[in-house]
Amino acid sequence: MIQLRNLERYYKSGFQKSWVLKGINLDVKQGEFITIMGDSGAGKSTLLQIIGMLDAANKGEYNFFDEEVHRFNEKKRTELYKHYIGFVFQAYHLIDDLTVYENIETPLIYRGIKSKERKPMVAELLDRFNIVAKKDLFPDQLSGGQQQLVGLARAIIGKPKLLLADEPTGNLHTKQGEEIMQLFKELHNEGMTIIQVTHSEKNAQYGDRIVHLEDGYVREDKNVNELLERN
């Protein structure tokens, strides 16, 4: 599904380049649940953004379902992104002025789906995540966990092929975090490809493969089972 070849991302300051990512090679198959780990500044989030097409690499190849994303301009990337990718953030990033219902509905509006068709789709997710009662509340009236539920619902309403999560439980306390991770697992079992960035070893266990980044390189890329065995 995804092939990254010799990916580089750097920032120029003056004549100096400072690399965030260097020589990244990564293959993701459909249906995988990958966790990207590493210390702060290792380049995790940047990698996620590049995969998520919200940022572009300076060098290297990025193929997504055999499409050469690295050759796309921003407009074309947005188009591809809109249809295949959902994003979940650590800080939820809900739109403050919209209700729960409207927040979940918004991606469908951008996809140009008609109002009649949107209703059942939103209703289904509200039901699945048990937040029907909260549908008319605004984000600031919700707890963190509830906000992240909305964030997740919003990310998957468009039935994306790839779900990207940047420290989805980072702002949550343990119990709420577990709830969210359980949902990720369910989605994974239903066949969704998921890539998450996290610091938490425990959360990493929900997935089936862990990629360790260090200073912009892939240091280790192993199956969870292999790692478990090693320990």
Partner 1 sequence: MFRHNIILAFRNFKRNKTSFLINLIGLSTGLTCAILIYLWVSDEINVDKFHDNNDRLYQVLQNRQFPQKIATWEITPTLLVNAIKEDLPEVEAATNISSREENPRGAFSFGEKNIIAEGIYAGENFFEVFTFPIKESENQSFLKDKNSIAISESFAQKLFSTTKNVIGKTIEWTRGQNKKSFRIAAIFETPPSNSTLQFDFVWNMQLLIDADEYAGKWNGDYAKTFLVLKPDANFEKFNNRFASFMNTKTDKRKKSQLFIQQFSDKYLNGKYENGKITGGRISYVWLFSIIAIFILLIACINFMNLSTAQASTKMKEIGVKKTIGADRQSLVQQFLGESILMSFLSLSVALLLVLAFLPTFNDITNKVLKFNWSFNFVITLFLITLFTGLVSGSYSAFYLSKFKPFQVLNGKQVMSFGDQWIRKGLVVFQFGLSIIFIVGVLVVQQQMEFIQTKNLGYQRDNVLNFKRPNTNKSETFLIEVKNITGVMNAGRMWGNLLSGRGTQSGYSWRGQEDDKKYSFKSPIIGYDVIETMDMKVLVGRTPSREHQEDFNKILINESARKMMQLENPVGMNIGYSDTLREIIGVVNDFNYGSMHHKIEPLIFRVTTRGNNILVKIKAGEEQTAISKLEEVFQKFHPSFPFEYSFVDDDYQALYEAESRVATLSKYFSGLAIVISCLGLFGLAMFTSERRKKEIGIRKVLGSSVFEIVKMLTSDFTKTVFAAILISLPISFFIAKKWLENFAYNITLTWWLFFVPAILVLIIAWLTIGLQTIKAARVNPVQSLKDE
Binding site for partner 1 (CB under 8 A): 45, 49, 52, 54-55, 75, 78-79, 81-82, 87, 89, 91, 93-98, 102, 106-107, 109-111, 154-155, 158
To the nearest whole angstrom, how small is the minimum distance from the Cβ of residue 157 to partner 1?
9
Q: Which is nearer to partner 1, 39 or 79 (CB)?
A: 79
Amino acid at 160: P
E strand segments, the chain: 2-13, 16-28, 33-38, 59-64, 67-68, 85-88, 162-166, 193-197, 209-214, 217-223
Q: What are the backbone angles phi and psi of residue 137, rounded to the nearest 5°? A: -85, 160
CB 80 → partner 1: shortest distance, Å?
11
Smallest distance from partner 1 to CB 228, Å: 33
The nearer residue to partner 1, 56 or 123, going by C-beta atoms, is 56
Please count the other Cβ atoms lying within 10 Å of the Cβ belonging to residue 219: 12
Which is nearer to partner 1, 53 or 210 (by Cβ)? 53
The whole-angstrom separation of Cα 140 and Cα 55 is 29
Distance CA 67, CA 167 (A): 28
| Residue with Cβ nearer partner 1 (87 or 206) | 87
At its nearest, how many Å lie between partner 1 and the CB of residue 229? 37
